[in-house]
Amino acid sequence: MKLIDIYARIKKDMNYIEKELEKSMNSDHPLMRQTSMHLLKAGGKRIRPIFVLLSGQFGEYQLERMRDIAVSMELIHMASLVHDDVIDDANTRRGQLTVKSKWDNRIAMYTGDYIFAEALGVITRFDNPRIHQIMSDAIVEMSIGEIEQIRFFFNTKQTVRDYLLRIKRKTALLIAISCQLGAVAAGASPEVTRRLYSYGYHVGMAFQIRDDLLDLCGTEEQIGKPPGSDIKQGNLTLPVLLALQEPLLSTPLLEEIERIREADGQTDVSKFLEMVRGCSGLLKAEEIASRYITKAIEDLSGLPDIQAKKDLAGVARFVGERTN
Protein backbone atom coordinates (compact mmCIF):
# COMPACT_ATOMS: atom_id res chain seq x y z
CA MET A 1 0.00 0.00 0.00
CA LYS A 2 1.39 3.43 -1.00
CA LEU A 3 0.89 6.66 0.90
CA ILE A 4 -0.66 8.21 -2.20
CA ASP A 5 -3.43 5.59 -2.09
CA ILE A 6 -4.19 6.49 1.52
CA TYR A 7 -4.25 10.19 0.63
CA ALA A 8 -6.64 9.43 -2.24
CA ARG A 9 -9.15 7.76 0.10
CA ILE A 10 -9.31 10.79 2.37
CA LYS A 11 -8.55 13.45 -0.27
CA LYS A 12 -11.84 15.30 0.11
CA ASP A 13 -11.49 15.60 3.88
CA MET A 14 -7.79 16.53 3.62
CA ASN A 15 -8.61 19.29 1.11
CA TYR A 16 -11.12 20.61 3.62
CA ILE A 17 -8.47 20.55 6.37
CA GLU A 18 -6.02 22.40 4.10
CA LYS A 19 -8.57 25.16 3.50
CA GLU A 20 -9.20 25.44 7.24
CA LEU A 21 -5.45 25.75 7.82
CA GLU A 22 -5.39 28.63 5.35
CA LYS A 23 -8.28 30.30 7.18
CA SER A 24 -6.41 30.04 10.47
CA MET A 25 -3.41 31.80 8.88
CA ASN A 26 -5.54 34.69 7.66
CA SER A 27 -4.35 37.23 10.23
CA ASP A 28 -5.55 40.84 10.10
CA HIS A 29 -1.90 41.87 10.32
CA PRO A 30 -0.40 41.79 6.81
CA LEU A 31 3.15 40.76 7.84
CA MET A 32 1.91 38.05 10.19
CA ARG A 33 -0.34 36.72 7.44
CA GLN A 34 2.56 36.79 4.97
CA THR A 35 5.01 34.92 7.22
CA SER A 36 2.43 32.34 8.30
CA MET A 37 1.29 31.68 4.75
CA HIS A 38 4.92 31.36 3.63
CA LEU A 39 5.33 28.49 6.07
CA LEU A 40 2.02 26.89 5.11
CA LYS A 41 2.73 27.07 1.38
CA ALA A 42 6.14 25.43 1.89
CA GLY A 43 4.09 22.26 2.11
CA GLY A 44 4.57 19.11 4.12
CA LYS A 45 3.08 15.65 4.29
CA ARG A 46 0.36 16.69 6.78
CA ILE A 47 1.02 13.40 8.59
CA ARG A 48 -0.56 14.60 11.84
CA PRO A 49 -3.93 15.52 10.27
CA ILE A 50 -3.92 12.15 8.50
CA PHE A 51 -3.47 10.39 11.85
CA VAL A 52 -6.35 12.42 13.29
CA LEU A 53 -8.72 11.59 10.44
CA LEU A 54 -7.87 7.90 10.38
CA SER A 55 -8.08 7.52 14.17
CA GLY A 56 -11.44 9.30 14.22
CA GLN A 57 -12.88 6.52 12.05
CA PHE A 58 -12.75 4.15 15.03
CA GLY A 59 -15.56 6.14 16.63
CA GLU A 60 -18.39 8.38 15.48
CA TYR A 61 -16.65 10.21 12.66
CA GLN A 62 -17.75 13.82 12.23
CA LEU A 63 -15.55 15.90 9.95
CA GLU A 64 -16.22 19.16 11.80
CA ARG A 65 -14.90 17.66 15.04
CA MET A 66 -11.98 16.03 13.29
CA ARG A 67 -11.22 19.35 11.60
CA ASP A 68 -10.57 21.16 14.85
CA ILE A 69 -8.25 18.45 16.17
CA ALA A 70 -6.41 18.07 12.85
CA VAL A 71 -5.91 21.82 12.37
CA SER A 72 -4.68 22.39 15.92
CA MET A 73 -2.21 19.47 15.71
CA GLU A 74 -0.74 20.74 12.45
CA LEU A 75 -0.55 24.31 13.77
CA ILE A 76 1.40 23.17 16.84
CA HIS A 77 3.77 21.28 14.54
CA MET A 78 4.20 24.32 12.28
CA ALA A 79 4.84 26.65 15.22
CA SER A 80 7.52 24.33 16.59
CA LEU A 81 9.21 24.26 13.16
CA VAL A 82 9.48 28.06 13.06
CA HIS A 83 11.02 28.13 16.51
CA ASP A 84 13.33 25.20 15.67
CA ASP A 85 14.67 27.05 12.62
CA VAL A 86 15.65 30.01 14.81
CA ILE A 87 17.39 27.78 17.36
CA ASP A 88 19.10 25.75 14.62
CA ASP A 89 19.94 28.82 12.51
CA ALA A 90 18.43 26.96 9.56
CA ASN A 91 18.23 28.80 6.24
CA THR A 92 16.13 26.26 4.34
CA ARG A 93 13.39 23.77 5.07
CA ARG A 94 11.76 21.55 2.44
CA GLY A 95 13.90 23.34 -0.12
CA GLN A 96 12.39 26.75 0.74
CA LEU A 97 13.76 29.68 2.72
CA THR A 98 12.76 29.53 6.38
CA VAL A 99 10.82 32.39 7.97
CA LYS A 100 13.91 33.41 9.97
CA SER A 101 15.99 33.44 6.80
CA LYS A 102 13.51 35.37 4.65
CA TRP A 103 12.70 37.83 7.42
CA ASP A 104 14.64 37.63 10.71
CA ASN A 105 14.77 35.82 14.05
CA ARG A 106 12.39 38.16 15.85
CA ILE A 107 9.73 37.95 13.14
CA ALA A 108 10.10 34.16 13.14
CA MET A 109 9.69 33.86 16.91
CA TYR A 110 6.55 35.98 16.93
CA THR A 111 5.20 34.06 13.94
CA GLY A 112 5.67 30.82 15.87
CA ASP A 113 3.95 32.34 18.92
CA TYR A 114 1.06 33.50 16.75
CA ILE A 115 0.59 30.04 15.23
CA PHE A 116 0.69 28.43 18.70
CA ALA A 117 -2.00 30.89 19.81
CA GLU A 118 -4.12 30.00 16.79
CA ALA A 119 -3.85 26.31 17.70
CA LEU A 120 -5.10 27.05 21.22
CA GLY A 121 -7.95 29.12 19.79
CA VAL A 122 -9.08 26.28 17.53
CA ILE A 123 -9.07 23.70 20.32
CA THR A 124 -11.29 25.90 22.53
CA ARG A 125 -14.21 24.90 20.30
CA PHE A 126 -14.28 21.68 22.35
CA ASP A 127 -15.93 21.71 25.75
CA ASN A 128 -14.21 18.46 26.73
CA PRO A 129 -11.60 19.34 29.40
CA ARG A 130 -9.72 16.10 28.72
CA ILE A 131 -8.86 17.28 25.21
CA HIS A 132 -7.50 20.57 26.57
CA GLN A 133 -5.46 18.79 29.23
CA ILE A 134 -3.92 16.33 26.78
CA MET A 135 -2.95 19.13 24.43
CA SER A 136 -1.51 21.44 27.10
CA ASP A 137 0.47 18.60 28.70
CA ALA A 138 1.93 17.74 25.29
CA ILE A 139 3.04 21.34 24.64
CA VAL A 140 4.77 21.40 28.03
CA GLU A 141 6.59 18.15 27.25
CA MET A 142 7.57 19.38 23.77
CA SER A 143 9.07 22.52 25.32
CA ILE A 144 11.06 20.40 27.78
CA GLY A 145 12.26 18.27 24.87
CA GLU A 146 13.55 21.37 23.06
CA ILE A 147 15.36 22.60 26.17
CA GLU A 148 16.88 19.16 26.68
CA GLN A 149 18.13 19.11 23.10
CA ILE A 150 19.92 22.44 23.68
CA ARG A 151 21.31 21.20 26.99
CA PHE A 152 22.83 18.15 25.29
CA PHE A 153 24.38 19.99 22.33
CA PHE A 154 27.83 18.47 21.60
CA ASN A 155 27.54 16.36 24.78
CA THR A 156 29.29 13.11 23.88
CA LYS A 157 28.56 11.65 27.32
CA GLN A 158 24.82 11.44 26.73
CA THR A 159 23.22 8.01 26.50
CA VAL A 160 20.90 6.40 23.98
CA ARG A 161 18.23 6.60 26.68
CA ASP A 162 18.74 10.40 26.85
CA TYR A 163 18.23 10.56 23.11
CA LEU A 164 15.09 8.40 23.11
CA LEU A 165 13.46 10.43 25.87
CA ARG A 166 14.26 13.62 23.99
CA ILE A 167 12.72 12.51 20.70
CA LYS A 168 9.68 11.17 22.55
CA ARG A 169 9.06 14.68 23.80
CA LYS A 170 10.08 16.53 20.65
CA THR A 171 8.40 14.40 17.98
CA ALA A 172 6.65 11.20 19.04
CA LEU A 173 4.30 12.79 21.57
CA LEU A 174 2.58 15.09 19.08
CA ILE A 175 2.00 12.18 16.68
CA ALA A 176 0.74 10.04 19.57
CA ILE A 177 -1.80 12.63 20.72
CA SER A 178 -2.90 13.24 17.11
CA CYS A 179 -4.08 9.63 17.13
CA GLN A 180 -5.37 9.83 20.70
CA LEU A 181 -7.35 13.06 20.26
CA GLY A 182 -8.84 11.92 16.95
CA ALA A 183 -10.20 8.91 18.83
CA VAL A 184 -11.32 10.94 21.86
CA ALA A 185 -13.16 13.50 19.69
CA ALA A 186 -14.94 10.65 17.91
CA GLY A 187 -15.97 9.02 21.19
CA ALA A 188 -13.94 5.85 20.64
CA SER A 189 -13.64 3.37 23.51
CA PRO A 190 -10.83 3.79 26.09
CA GLU A 191 -9.10 0.61 24.87
CA VAL A 192 -9.18 1.72 21.22
CA THR A 193 -7.93 5.17 22.26
CA ARG A 194 -5.08 3.62 24.27
CA ARG A 195 -4.01 1.44 21.37
CA LEU A 196 -4.06 4.36 18.95
CA TYR A 197 -1.96 6.48 21.31
CA SER A 198 0.59 3.66 21.61
CA TYR A 199 0.60 3.23 17.83
CA GLY A 200 1.24 6.95 17.36
CA TYR A 201 4.05 6.93 19.90
CA HIS A 202 5.85 4.04 18.20
CA VAL A 203 5.41 5.55 14.72
CA GLY A 204 6.62 8.91 16.02
CA MET A 205 9.79 7.42 17.47
CA ALA A 206 10.55 5.71 14.15
CA PHE A 207 9.73 8.91 12.27
CA GLN A 208 12.38 10.90 14.15
CA ILE A 209 15.02 8.18 13.91
CA ARG A 210 14.45 8.02 10.13
CA ASP A 211 14.73 11.82 10.04
CA ASP A 212 18.08 11.63 11.82
CA LEU A 213 19.30 8.93 9.45
CA LEU A 214 18.32 11.02 6.44
CA ASP A 215 20.28 13.97 7.80
CA LEU A 216 23.38 11.77 7.69
CA CYS A 217 22.73 9.76 4.51
CA GLY A 218 20.30 11.79 2.43
CA THR A 219 21.03 14.34 -0.27
CA GLU A 220 20.08 18.02 -0.09
CA GLU A 221 17.53 17.36 -2.83
CA GLN A 222 15.94 14.58 -0.76
CA ILE A 223 15.76 16.32 2.59
CA GLY A 224 15.45 19.97 1.55
CA LYS A 225 18.52 21.08 3.51
CA PRO A 226 22.25 20.29 3.50
CA PRO A 227 23.11 16.89 5.04
CA GLY A 228 24.97 17.10 8.32
CA SER A 229 22.81 19.95 9.63
CA ASP A 230 22.30 18.17 12.95
CA ILE A 231 25.97 17.97 13.88
CA LYS A 232 26.57 21.58 12.86
CA GLN A 233 23.96 22.52 15.46
CA GLY A 234 25.54 20.20 18.02
CA ASN A 235 22.73 17.68 17.92
CA LEU A 236 24.15 14.17 18.39
CA THR A 237 21.55 11.76 17.03
CA LEU A 238 21.10 8.02 17.50
CA PRO A 239 23.42 6.83 14.68
CA VAL A 240 26.20 9.07 16.01
CA LEU A 241 25.75 7.90 19.60
CA LEU A 242 25.90 4.29 18.39
CA ALA A 243 28.99 5.06 16.31
CA LEU A 244 30.70 6.45 19.42
CA GLN A 245 30.31 3.01 21.01
CA GLU A 246 32.59 1.44 18.39
CA PRO A 247 36.10 1.10 19.92
CA LEU A 248 38.05 1.79 16.72
CA LEU A 249 35.94 4.78 15.73
CA SER A 250 35.30 6.39 19.10
CA THR A 251 38.51 8.45 19.46
CA PRO A 252 38.76 9.87 15.90
CA LEU A 253 35.02 10.59 15.88
CA LEU A 254 35.26 12.40 19.24
CA GLU A 255 38.08 14.50 17.83
CA GLU A 256 36.03 15.38 14.74
CA ILE A 257 33.01 16.34 16.86
CA GLU A 258 35.24 18.54 19.02
CA ARG A 259 36.63 20.22 15.88
CA ILE A 260 33.11 21.01 14.69
CA ARG A 261 32.17 22.31 18.15
CA GLU A 262 35.17 24.62 18.30
CA ALA A 263 34.25 25.98 14.87
CA ASP A 264 30.75 26.72 16.20
CA GLY A 265 29.33 24.60 13.40
CA GLN A 266 30.75 26.93 10.73
CA THR A 267 32.89 24.31 9.04
CA ASP A 268 32.85 21.51 6.51
CA VAL A 269 31.40 18.30 7.97
CA SER A 270 32.11 15.95 5.07
CA LYS A 271 34.78 14.05 7.03
CA PHE A 272 32.35 13.57 9.92
CA LEU A 273 29.68 12.27 7.53
CA GLU A 274 32.14 9.91 5.89
CA MET A 275 33.16 8.47 9.26
CA VAL A 276 29.59 7.88 10.42
CA ARG A 277 28.46 6.48 7.07
CA GLY A 278 31.23 3.93 7.24
CA CYS A 279 30.26 2.49 10.63
CA SER A 280 27.59 0.10 11.89
CA GLY A 281 25.73 2.82 13.80
CA LEU A 282 23.52 3.53 10.79
CA LEU A 283 22.42 -0.08 10.47
CA LYS A 284 21.78 -0.38 14.20
CA ALA A 285 19.67 2.80 14.15
CA GLU A 286 17.68 1.48 11.19
CA GLU A 287 17.05 -1.75 13.12
CA ILE A 288 15.77 0.23 16.13
CA ALA A 289 13.46 2.25 13.87
CA SER A 290 12.17 -0.98 12.33
CA ARG A 291 11.41 -2.39 15.79
CA TYR A 292 9.32 0.68 16.57
CA ILE A 293 7.36 0.17 13.34
CA THR A 294 6.78 -3.49 14.22
CA LYS A 295 5.44 -2.45 17.64
CA ALA A 296 3.18 0.15 15.99
CA ILE A 297 1.62 -2.46 13.72
CA GLU A 298 1.21 -4.80 16.70
CA ASP A 299 -0.71 -2.00 18.48
CA LEU A 300 -3.27 -2.13 15.68
CA SER A 301 -3.92 -5.86 16.07
CA GLY A 302 -6.74 -5.46 18.58
CA LEU A 303 -8.59 -2.77 16.63
CA PRO A 304 -11.72 -3.34 14.49
CA ASP A 305 -10.96 -4.55 10.97
CA ILE A 306 -11.90 -1.43 9.05
CA GLN A 307 -10.09 0.32 6.18
CA ALA A 308 -8.60 2.87 8.57
CA LYS A 309 -6.73 0.07 10.34
CA LYS A 310 -5.14 -1.03 7.07
CA ASP A 311 -4.33 2.58 6.23
CA LEU A 312 -2.65 3.19 9.59
CA ALA A 313 -0.51 0.10 9.00
CA GLY A 314 0.35 1.47 5.56
CA VAL A 315 1.36 4.86 7.01
CA ALA A 316 3.58 3.09 9.56
CA ARG A 317 5.35 1.16 6.82
CA PHE A 318 5.82 4.37 4.82
CA VAL A 319 7.41 6.05 7.85
CA GLY A 320 9.75 3.11 8.30
CA GLU A 321 10.92 3.30 4.69
CA ARG A 322 10.70 7.00 3.85
CA THR A 323 13.53 8.69 1.98
CA ASN A 324 12.48 12.34 2.37
Per-residue pLDDT for 208 more than 80?
A: yes
Q: What is the mean pLDDT of the chain?
A: 92
**Do 158 and 241 contact (CB within 8 A), yes or no?**
yes
Span 108-156, pLDDT tens digits = 999 889 898 999 999 999 989 999 999 999 999 999 999 999 999 999 9
pLDDT value at position 85? 83
How big is the chain, counted in residues? 324
Q: Can you give the pLDDT at residue 30?
A: 87
Element at 93 (helix H, strand E)? strand 92-93
For residue 279, what are the domain limits?
A: 3-321
Considering the chain, what percentage of its residues have pLDDT values greater than 90?
69
Q: How far is CA 184 from CA 17, 66, 150, 285, in A?
A: 18, 10, 33, 33
Give pLDDT, residue 1.
59
Specify the number of domains making up the chain: 1
Q: What CATH code is carried by the domain that includes residue 283? A: 1.10.600.10
- Give tens-digit pLDDT for 179-196: 999 999 999 999 999 999
pLDDT (tens digit per residue) in 296-308 = 999 999 899 999 9
Q: pLDDT at position 182, please?
A: 97
Task: Calculate mean pLDDT across residues 46-52.
Answer: 94
| Amino acid letter, 225 | K
Looking at residue 28, its pLDDT comes to 81
Give the pLDDT of residue 226. 84
Tell me what the mean pLDDT of segment 157-177 comes to: 96
Return the minimum-mean-pLDDT range out of 49-53, 86-90, 242-246, 281-285: 86-90
Q: Is the pTM of this model over 0.85?
A: yes
208: left (phi over 0), alpha (psi -120 to 50) or beta: alpha
Residues 6+ away with beta carbon under 8 Å from 151: none
pLDDT for 29: 86
Question: Quick one: pLDDT at residue 316?
Answer: 96
pLDDT score for 42: 79
pLDDT at 296: 98
